[in-house]
A and B are shown apart, each in its own frame.
Chain A
Amino acid sequence: MRKLISFLFLLPLIGIAQNNSGEIHGDFNLSLQSYKDDIKIDAIGADEVILNNAYLNINYIKGNFSTGIRYESYLNALADYDPEFKGNGIPYRFATYNLEGLEITAGNFYEQFGSGLIFRSYEEKGLGIDNAMDGVRLKYSPFSGISLKTFIGKSRTYFTYADGIFRGLDGEVNINDAFGLESKTAIILGGSFISRYQQRANPKFNLPQNVSAYAGRLNIIKGGWNYYGEYAYKINDPANSLQENEMNYASGSAFTNSITFSKKGFGVTAEMHRSDNMTFKSDRDKDGKAYLINYIPTLSKPHAYTLLALYPCATQADGELGFQIDLFYKIKKGTLFGGKYGTKLNFNYSRINALNSGGITLNSEDLKGSFLNDNTDHTPMLISIKGEELYFKDINLEINKKINKKIKTNFVIANQTYNKDFLEGHTPGDYGVINSTIAVLDVSYKIKKGHTIRMELQELLAKQLEHAEENEEGSWSMALVEYTISPHWFFAVQDMYNWGNEDVEKQLHYVNVNAGFIKGSNRFSIGYGKKREGIFCVGGVCKLVPSSNGFSLNISSSF
């Protein structure tokens, strides 16, 4: 049946040969990686030797009609992917058309309400997340300044769909546009509602069959000022357990607030968020990232440099309170520190801690957020910082400077505190809390037209804030050299050296070599190297990447 449906979606594509109008676009990606045993870095070889992820998107657009499919292949999935991604299929197909402000989509779609606190259906290949919806969505704008969205559907997990049925509605009003005002202050108001239906019977506990969540948001923009605030609430959403301690009937809530001021050469953002018991899943019986249906945006700066991102912060939807301030300033050119081209400075501070657990422990786990059942009723304080368990702290300064026409530099210095035990789910005291001071120097030098050499030097000095039972990973150094011959070639060599490991046997080099060839929109790259076991995050959503040793091949293409 599913094959037939996919075929029907393909029909319009087939018709194109006769009717030479409309456009076809597509993109393709293939990632192959070989895995071999490497006892020193705890890498486990794959039985299959080579693992593979590939996908192909094909979209057809004609006027206000579009349709598309995505073919995915995991034979078998790369080691850092959930092994439940297994096999081949067409998990994504859709058709949509737009008529007089009404857009109708049938099939798969991605959708997000506000910043995603109650609902976000998205795809993040790097994390192996794809909770695409399958169903029907309508978007309608009856007047200028008013937009409405509604959908009904199920959420994808791997090659199937989770049990819960979602119904969603979102409305947004831009006051100026809607009422024809000429005000210099733009006010955008939004509200959203989502409900999950999942029929379950529990012989011991009452279960809500319909679990709903709603959110309101406000965005005010005036000149260089921008305020965004959103509050979300979710009604009781207990698991489906027969143990009282596992049944949490507390409602959930989350808010995020940010205020930004920016003008030429200067910008500042202050942000605060709090999340309490806000894990919203597409199946109440299941655990795991694949079933998440909402998203709490991260509050720490996403770092691109390897050692800065060695200990990244994962957002805790169950309970966290965080603050962030981000300052950007450009020193004008022609001044003492500005030089000929000016100097860009970016200062960032973020701090995330636990909500107060009230000292209540259930099944040897401290409470992370609100908890309510017939015997326990705990609501954490709204704001509490002092004395609460610190999850993550990052203070960093980035200086970006172009020295002359040939040399560009970027320098970052940071100090991070990372609660490894909590953020990685270890027993407290196993790895403790790590404080690291990190410096990064990135210099690129243009040798001649089309030839650029870039070098990164990174250093991470780690300090254990409390004694830990397991060996400390300790300090790291890293160097990278990258040579680019534009527009076709690039070569890179990098070495990460864990010289500070408490275990002398683990003071290892992790060398990676990469080369790539780009022509038009086709890109080929090959690599060989060792990867350390680590945490990889995008926007506060993280996954564990196992250590590996092997070759990789990546081919991507688009048209």
Chain B
Amino acid sequence: MKKYIYLFIAVLIFASCDKLEGPFMTDNIINPIDTSTNSFVKKILIEDFTGHTCPNCPDAARELDAIHEIYGDQIIGMAVHVGKTFARPFPLGTGKFEYDFRTTWGETWDSFFGIGTAGLPKGMINRIDYPNDEHRKGKNEWGAAVQAELNKDVDLGIVISSNISGESGTISINTKVLNNISGSYNLVVCLTEDTIINWQKDGQVEVENYEHKHVLRTVLNSEWGEQLTASTSLLSGDNFTHTFNINLTSLEQFNIDYSKNTLFQGNGNAGGWNADNMNIVAYIYNTITKEILQVEETHLNN
């Protein structure tokens, strides 16, 4: 008789089944936090590892857009083109996919975090869940990870200011500690570029005028950045400022040379930067866990 009871219990478990009828879209309205006020909010960096001949990558880029649409400027995107398979440019004269979006910093992160070997597209959300292989997330995992990140404390605030005229100028990053925290933290400052119109494979179609958004162009202080402070005990109210002198022409030339001389099938076609579409992205991460605690973004030319 006992056995029948087991089976009966089993049958009960199966009674659950959630068939949905439309409309499928919820009528929840999420009002993004107004990030323009002075108080600091938690911001999230989504690093979208991608490639211009990766057919599924635009789906991930659209997912990032959809997340941005919901959470507004709390979401900061960065498209990192990496690898030999999907990001290598076609030889000059082919007529398509000739641009080399790759950078030395992107390649380093890709190899360190093992992204490309796991297949593109993949992304990292504030680099959480490293190193147990859960840090490289498929696009359908991004939304849930973002939700979890938004619930975390805001421990740091970043203010970016820049003074660029022509091709050169200074960028200054001011970091404010909002809660007492301990640990070793590094600051990384990058430039990204929006509205780059170039080829992209999108599903079965090769799109000539695809709009590439927030493409990683350069990192101003090496792929792992620099110490925020020598102290491992950060107290609320602490304040740190880091200043960078930049020259866009030489930064651009670095990428051209790197493509030509170092990258797999690189062709040196990595220039054509447009400072008007560029953004400064600054983030601070824990050097042990790699988790990004805070990130900020501003236009290069204010």
Contact = CB atoms under 8 A, between A and B. Distances in A.
A205 B25 contact: yes
Contacts of B138: 285-287
A200 B144 contact: yes
Given A201-B144, A285-B144, A363-B58, A241 B66 contact: yes
B13 to A, nearest CB: 5
A144 interface: no
B14 A242 contact: no
Given A204-B70, A235-B17, A249 B22 contact: yes
Nearest to A288: B119
Contacts of A364: 58, 202-205, 207
Interface string A229-245: 00000011011111111
Nearest to B18: A208
Most chain B beta carbons < 10 A, residue from A202, A244, A251, A425:
A202
Interface string A218-232: 000000000000000
A466 to B, nearest CB: 15
B201 interface: yes
B58 A102 contact: no
A365 B204 contact: yes
Given A209-B18, A235-B19, A243 B66 contact: yes
A253 interface: no
A373 B143 CA distance: 19
Contact of A210 (B3, B16, B203): B16
Contact of A241 (B11, B55, B63): B63
Contacts of A372: 22
Contacts of B7: 138, 140, 148, 150
B201 A427 contact: yes
Contact of B10 (A169, A288, A374): A169
A84 interface: yes
Nearest to A100: B3
Nearest to B66: A242
A374 B59 contact: no
Given A242-B70, A285-B138, A427-B201, A208 B144 contact: no
A128 B144 CA distance: 29
A365 B56 CA distance: 10
A247 B30 contact: no
A511 interface: no
A241 B65 CA distance: 11
Interface in B1-47: 3-4, 6-7, 10-11, 13-14, 16-20, 22-26, 28, 30
Interface string A80-118: 000110000000000000000010000000000000000
Nearest to A363: B203
Contacts of A239: 140
Interface string A187-207: 000000101010011111110
Interface in B61-102: 62-63, 66-67, 69-70
Contact of A236 (B19, B30, B143): B19
A203 B70 contact: yes
Nearest to B142: A242
A431 B301 CA distance: 46
A99 to B, nearest CB: 9
A533 interface: no
Given A201-B147, A208-B20, A363 B13 contact: no
B64 to A, nearest CB: 9
Q: Interface residue tally of chain B, by bracket?
A: 35 or more
Contacts of A365: 203-204
B63 A246 contact: yes
B202 A363 contact: yes
B118 A84 contact: yes
A506 interface: no
A100 to B, nearest CB: 8
A204 B26 contact: yes
Contacts of B62: 243, 245, 363
Contact of A374 (B4, B6, B24, B58): B24
A167 B13 contact: yes
A398 to B, nearest CB: 36
Interface string B196-212: 00000111111100000
Interface in A228-279: 235-236, 238-247, 249, 251
Interface string A156-199: 00000000000101000000000000000000000001010100
Interface string A420-433: 00000101100000
A204 B206 CA distance: 30
A477 interface: no
A210 B139 CA distance: 22
A247 B117 CA distance: 27
Contacts of B6: 138
Nearest to B17: A212
A440 interface: no
Given A84-B118, A240-B143, A205 B24 contact: yes
A499 to B, nearest CB: 27
A241 B140 CA distance: 5
B141 interface: yes
A351 interface: no
B133 interface: yes
A366 interface: yes
Nearest to A247: B24
Contacts of A287: 138, 140
A92 to B, nearest CB: 20
Nearest to A248: B24
A425 B55 contact: yes
A127 interface: no
A360 to B, nearest CB: 13
A286 to B, nearest CB: 6
Contacts of A251: 19
B263 to A, nearest CB: 16
A205 B28 CA distance: 9
Nearest to B71: A203
A202 B141 CA distance: 11
Given A150-B7, A363-B58, A366-B204, A205 B26 contact: yes
B23 A202 contact: no
A285 B18 contact: no
A393 interface: no
A6 B66 CA distance: 44
A211 B18 contact: yes
A350 B14 CA distance: 38
A201 B141 CA distance: 11
Most chain B beta carbons < 10 A, residue from A209, A239, A243, A428:
A243
Nearest to B62: A243
A30 to B, nearest CB: 24
Interface in A514-529: none
A154 interface: no
Given A138-B10, A212-B17, A285-B138, 11 more contacts: A84-B118, A138-B7, A142-B3, A167-B10, A167-B13, A202-B143, A204-B66, A211-B18, A241-B139, A241-B143, A364-B58
18 contacts: A84-B118, A138-B6, A138-B7, A152-B10, A152-B13, A204-B28, A205-B24, A205-B25, A208-B19, A209-B18, A235-B19, A236-B20, A241-B140, A242-B69, A286-B141, A364-B203, A364-B204, A428-B204
Which 8 residue pairs of A and B lie closest in terms of their CB atoms, listed nearest first?
Answer: A364-B203, A208-B18, A242-B66, A212-B17, A150-B10, A364-B205, A365-B203, A210-B16
Interface of A: 83-84, 102, 138, 140, 142, 148, 150, 152, 167, 169, 193, 195, 197, 200-206, 208-212, 235-236, 238-247, 249, 251, 284-288, 363-366, 372-374, 425, 427-428
